Structure 1
């Protein structure tokens, strides 16, 4: 069992998308998603960033935003078509949960990738080439049925696991099975699986509402 660790630069409920039965990672982090070394049963963890702190005021450095155990690797085009993931297609004028749906890519009759109006498109639903290339470059949608999503309830990562944190951009792979098992045992012993908090960046909407009032 391996653990892939990275810093979460934005936490809107899009990457990862923890809603419903499944926690999914379908956009961003293409290197992790397309890695041939990523196996079913491996874990992915996302830790807090200065960017989130600067945009929301929430102190989240050295905190765990989420952890998901990979149960499936699904090709992106199959993710779009799968009946069980239709609820993750975005509704941009819907609730915050619906707005940040991550099932946003499909192939047309010419076998070209298309992007629906979503959090990764430009204003008025125009195609965002940068996001599209990055997102579909990951090849797979990663699915988890055993996950811990904390968001604004993110716990401090114990000092003994400080080496698991990847500072800055990129990813870090932890392969020491004794250490990865200890980390999972810490999670399972102290927290409930599923959603334990709201996405941190939703605070931006709350701040906007306060200003308007």
Structure 2
């Protein structure tokens, strides 16, 4: 298992300015460029706009790095991404610190979110 040694550090933050549902995110032309194109140039292969509701009412997953290697649905990733929320947080104020992440003071430990997802 690869670890960056950033436990207890602020790796990423974002100030949400908008909350929308997956289907709204999918349909919104502002976020069309966030749909990955796995046949495009490397810069076009990344994106997080990968879910929309299918005719059967379940979330369909666009071929992406969240899919299986052959491009088929990754049930585990879809469940992780959509089971607990149908909301997408939108923000234009954010920072990613990576390995340069500052320590989070102990008194603010209650705001720490471990793993994927978000904590409000």
Distance 2:70 2:115 in 1: 32
Residue of structure 2 equivalent to 1:88: 34
- The residue number in structure 1 matching 2:11 is 65
Distance 1:142 1:89 in 2: 16
Q: How does 1:106-125 map onto structure 2 within 5 Å?
A: 106-125=52-71
From 103, 108, 116, the equivalent of 1:156 is: 103
Q: What is aligned with 1:211?
A: none
1:142 corresponds in structure 2 to: 89
Structure 1: 4+ residue segments shifted above 3 A:
97-100, 108-112, 162-173
For structure 2, the 5+ residue unaligned runs are none
Which residue matches 1:185?
none
Aligned length: 118
Q: What is the alpha-carbon root mean square deviation over aligned residues?
A: 2.9
Report Cα offsets for 1:145-200 as digits up to 9, x if no partner. Answer: 22222223322223443443356899866xxxxxxxxxxxxxxxxxxxxxxxxxxx
Name the TM-score, length of structure 1 as normaliser: 0.47
Higher RCO (C-alpha 8 Å, min separation 6): 2
Larger radius of gyration: 1
Normalised by the length of structure 2, the TM-score is: 0.77
* Cα offset, 1:85, TM superposition: 0.4
1:132 aligns with 2:105: no
Which string of whole-angstrom CA distances, capped at 9 and with x for unpartnered residues, describes residues 43-94 of structure 1? xxxxxxxxxxx415x2211111111112111111111111010111113354
Which blocks of at least 5 consecutive residues in structure 1 are unaligned? 1-53, 174-213
1:102 Cα deviation (Å)?
A: 0.6
